[in-house]
Structure 1
C-alpha cells in the first residue's frame, strides 16, 4: 500500500530482456540505503518486488502482465521515474490509498504552464473513465492528484510548482504513456453493487406468471 507521494525521482539504468524474462534496473539515489531484497517499491505507481541491490541501483523483474498493463514497455535507459516506499505504521499519510496495481495506460494530451503552476491532461482508457469523478483522486505515474477537470475520457489535474519540480512530470511530453490507478473505493463500490444485483431474487414468480396469463 502506498500514498501517492513521490519520495525520490529515480532514473532507469537498464531494461534487460532475456530468456529469463525482463528485468528493470533503477538508480534510486539516497533511497537505496533503506531498500531491501524481497521488499516492495512503487516505480511510477507500479508495485514491484526488489530482487537485487547493488550500490544505489535496485533491480525488479517484470512479468508479461506488468509489461502489458503499464508504460514500462515504452521506457528506456535514462527515463525519470517516481519512487515511493510502502506505507508503514507511523508514516504520514499525505495522499490517498494507492495499491500499486496499475489499472491501465493513459496518454498525455496536455502539459502546459499556467503562471507558476501547470496543467496536466491525460486521456483515459474508456473502461477506466467511469471510476473517475470531479474532485476525486487518481494516481498518475504513482502521483496522487485531484481531478480538476473531467471531459469525456480526458482528465486534467492542476500541478503546483513543488509537485512539478519533485516528480517526473517535468519530463513528460504530449503523447507520452503514463500509468493510471483509479481510486480503490470506486472499484470496490462497483463490485459491491454488482454482487447485490446478482444476488437479488428474480422478479419472475407464480403470481407474476398468473398475471401474465400463464
Structure 2
C-alpha cells in the first residue's frame, strides 16, 4: 500500500523489451537506499516488484497488461517518473490509501496557471466517473490529489508549487497521458451497497 506522497523524482535508466513484458531499470537514490528483492515501489502510481538493485538503480518486470492499461508503455530512457516506497505500518498516512493498481488512464487537457497554484484539467474515463467526486481523493501518476471539480467526462485538481516542482505533474503538457487510481473505499462501498439493492447480491 502507498500514500500518494511522492518521495522523489526518478529517471528511467533503461528498458528491455521482452516477449510479453518489459524489464525496466529506474534510477532513484532515495527509494533504493533500503530496497531489496521483492519490495514494492510505485512508479507513476503503478506498484512494481523489485527484482534487482544495483547502486541507485532498481529493476522491475512489467507485464503486458500493465503496459497496456497504464502509461508505463510510453516511457523511454530518460523519462522522469514519480517514485514511492510502500508505506510502513507505523508511518503517518499523509495522502490517502493508494494501492498502486491503476484503474485507467486519462489525458491532461489543460493547465491554468495561478499566482500560487495551477489548475489542471484531466479527462475521465466513463467507467470511473461514478467514483470521482468534488473534494474526494484521486491518485494521478501516483500523486495523491484532492478533486476540486468534476465536469462530465473530466475533472480538475489544484497543484501547489511543491507538487509542480517535485513530481512529473509539473512538466506534463496537454495531450500527455496520466495514470488514474480512484479511491478504493468508493469501490468497496458500491460493492457492499449493491447487496441491498433490488436483485443485488453480496
TM-score, length-normalised on structure 2? 0.94
Aligned-pair distance for 1:169?
1.1
Cα 1:154–1:200 change in 2 (3 A) is: closer
CA contact (8 A) 2:20 2:64 kept: no
Aligned-pair distance for 1:200?
5.5
CA distance in 1, matches of 2:24, 2:120: 27
SS in structure 1 opposite 2:133?
Answer: coil
CA contact (8 A) 2:194 2:200 kept: no
Greater shift, 109-118 or 33-42, is seen at 109-118
Q: CA RMSD in A?
A: 1.5
Q: Give the alignment of 1:47-196 within 5 angstroms.
A: 47-196=47-196
CA distance in 1, matches of 2:158, 2:130: 20
Where does structure 1 lack aligned partners over 5 or more consecutive residues? 202-214
Aligned-pair distance for 1:36?
0.9
- Match status 1:7 vs 2:7: yes
TM-score, length-normalised on structure 1? 0.89
Cα 1:199–1:2 change in 2 (3 A) is: same
CA distance in 2, matches of 1:11, 1:58: 11
CA distance in 1, matches of 2:147, 2:105: 17
Aligned-pair distance for 1:197?
3.1
CA distance in 2, matches of 1:101, 1:31: 19
Cα 1:77–1:18 change in 2 (3 A) is: same
Kindly tell me the number of residue pairs found equivalent between the two proteins: 201
CA contact (8 A) 2:36 2:50 kept: yes
Q: Deviations over 1:161-205 (max 9, x none)?
A: 11111111122111111000000111111111223337669xxxx
Where does structure 2 lack aligned partners over 5 or more consecutive residues? none
